[in-house]
């Protein structure tokens, strides 16, 4: 008969992982034979560029790739990252001490609190946010302090509104620009303010820049590390997932202040065995080879964005046109909560969207739509939603 299994308090303290809940509902509808248009999870629908796949295939055939990789990552990969950073942001990084390859940026983001958060320590987290900022802190035994991202503040946290005593005790502050879920971009002035805030309060800045390359504007998003003094107070996370359609490959990196990078590396060397070397070598190919891939990808997302924004706008919906990312952050029409609207769209139109409340309390009143289906399916989704207005 066995005995009762009691899970750890840290797991009990976690809110339900939103995407898993949505996926469960979606699978039930598919089982019922419904044609689902999934605008929920941000997983690119177009394949990894062939030149990257070809390099992986070549490297996989090298038996030397099949052994445990170095936890610090291949020096060749770290050098390629430093070259890309210098070219893209004009920021110099030391491949030996300021760069750490990750099994996707998500794991580094979630492991960071284990390096710096003690029981009941505080971390500053934007709200709404990418859920691993919150869950990583909770799993490390820390206490999240939420900074509202409000439309009237261009979805930037108001650092002056952070309680002084909380700021003084905080160990980490998470930021994410271009932002998931809102699509907002940070300004140079905001990043300068962040550096000053971090210096004053001795708090480590963890900036998630996973969407830095998916910008619809001529002026590309900034790196936090471009700001004077930024490398003294924090690190930046990047991922090859969205830029090169490599979500399933699990490869990214953290870069910035050496002591922070070393501490995260120590956590990882006790938990994982690093990134498969063949994938790291394919990552070198991705970062160093000049192609039209990114331009074409951005054009594709721009077309989809415009179809969605114009289509929902024609229905009277107020839609916030994103400057970057492949997400559209949409105010919920009157009469619904975000979850009620998401449930109605799934039940009545077989369209999956993400309720904003899943990203935090300040996400209530919005839904997030991912531009990760083709233009024709987005047009069909708009038509189905229009049918609910009739």
pLDDT at 182 over 70: yes
Q: What is the mean pLDDT of residues 355-370?
A: 96
Using CA atoms, how far residue 102 sits from 43, 48, 265, 276, 380, in Å, is 19, 19, 9, 10, 38
pLDDT at 123 over 60: yes
Calculate Rg over the CA atoms of the chain: 21
pLDDT reported for residue 71: 83
Question: Range(s) for CATH 3.90.1150.10 in the chain?
Answer: 9-47+293-389
pLDDT at 17 over 90: no
Q: What is the mean pLDDT of residues 4-18?
A: 86
- Nearest by Cα to 129 from 153, 147, 110: 147
User: At 147, is the pLDDT very low, low, confident or very high (cuts 50, 70, 90)?
Assistant: very high
Asked if omega into 196 is within 30° of 0 (cis), the reply is no
Pairing of strands 252-256, 327-331: unpaired
Q: What is the mean pLDDT of residues 119-131?
A: 96
pLDDT at 390 over 60: no
Residue carrying structure tokens 């691993």: 132
363 SS3 class: helix
Q: For helices 18-31 and 338-349, give the axis angle rounded to 10 degrees.
A: 20
Q: Are 378 and 307 in contact (CB under 8 A)?
A: yes
Q: What is the mean pLDDT of residues 227-232?
A: 98
- Nearest by Cα to 132 from 157, 149, 107: 107
Average pLDDT, the chain: 95
Strand segments, DSSP code E, in 27-102 are: 37-38, 99-102
Question: Range(s) for CATH 3.40.640.10 in the chain?
Answer: 50-288
Q: How many residues appear in the chain?
A: 390
Give me the CATH code for the 50-288 domain, please.
Answer: 3.40.640.10
Provide, rounded to the nearest whole percent, the portion of the chain with pLDDT above 70: 99
User: At 253, is the pLDDT very low, low, confident or very high (cuts 50, 70, 90)?
Assistant: very high
> pLDDT by residue (tens digit) across 56-80?
999 999 999 999 898 899 999 999 9
pLDDT at 304 over 90: yes
CATH class of segment(s) 9-47+293-389: alpha beta
Q: Are 246 and 48 in contact (CB under 8 A)?
A: yes
Q: What is the mean pLDDT of residues 93-108?
A: 97
């Amino acid at each position: 008969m066995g005995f009762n299994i009691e899970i750890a308090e840290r797991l009990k303290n976690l809110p339900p992982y939103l995407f898993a809940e949505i996926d469960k509902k979606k699978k039930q509808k598919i089982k019922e034979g419904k044609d689902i248009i999934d605008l929920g999870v941000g997983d690119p629908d177009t394949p990894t560029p062939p030149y990257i796949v070809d390099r992986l295939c070549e490297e996989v055939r090298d038996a030397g790739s099949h052994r445990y990789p170095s936890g610090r990552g291949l020096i060749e990969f770290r050098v390629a990252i430093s070259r890309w950073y210098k070219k893209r942001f004009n920021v110099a990084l030391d491949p030996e001490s300021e760069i750490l390859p990750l099994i996707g940026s998500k794991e580094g983001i979630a492991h960071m609190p284990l390096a710096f958060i003690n029981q009941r320590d505080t971390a500053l987290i934007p709200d709404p946010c990418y859920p691993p900022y919150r869950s990583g802190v909770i799993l490390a035994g820390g206490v999240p302090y939420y900074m509202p991202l409000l439309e009237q503040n261009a979805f930037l946290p108001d650092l002056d509104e952070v309680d002084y005593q909380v700021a003084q005790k905080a160990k980490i502050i998470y930021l994410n620009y271009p932002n998931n879920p809102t699509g907002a971009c940070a300004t140079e002035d905001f990043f300068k303010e962040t550096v000053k805030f971090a210096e004053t309060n001795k708090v480590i800045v963890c900036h998630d820049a996973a969407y830095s390359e998916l910008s619809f504007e001529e002026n590309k998003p900034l790196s936090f590390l471009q700001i004077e003094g930024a490398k003294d107070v924090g690190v930046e996370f990047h991922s090859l997932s969205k830029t090169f359609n490599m979500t399933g490959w699990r490869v990214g990196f953290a870069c910035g202040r050496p002591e922070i990078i070393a501490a995260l590396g120590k956590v990882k060397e006790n938990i994982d065995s690093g990134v498969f070397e063949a994938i790291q070598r394919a990552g070198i190919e991705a970062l160093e080879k000049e192609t039209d891939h990114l331009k074409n990808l951005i054009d594709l997302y721009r077309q989809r964005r415009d179809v969605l924004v114009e289509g929902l706008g024609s229905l009277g919906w107020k839609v916030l046109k994103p400057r970057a990312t492949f997400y559209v952050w949409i105010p919920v029409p009157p009469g619904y909560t975000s979850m009620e609207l998401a449930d109605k769209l799934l039940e009545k139109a077989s369209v999956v969207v993400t309720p904003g409340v899943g990203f935090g309390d300040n996400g209530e009143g919005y839904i997030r739509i991912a531009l990760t289906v083709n233009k024709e399916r987005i047009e069909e989704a708009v038509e189905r939603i229009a049918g609910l207005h009739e």
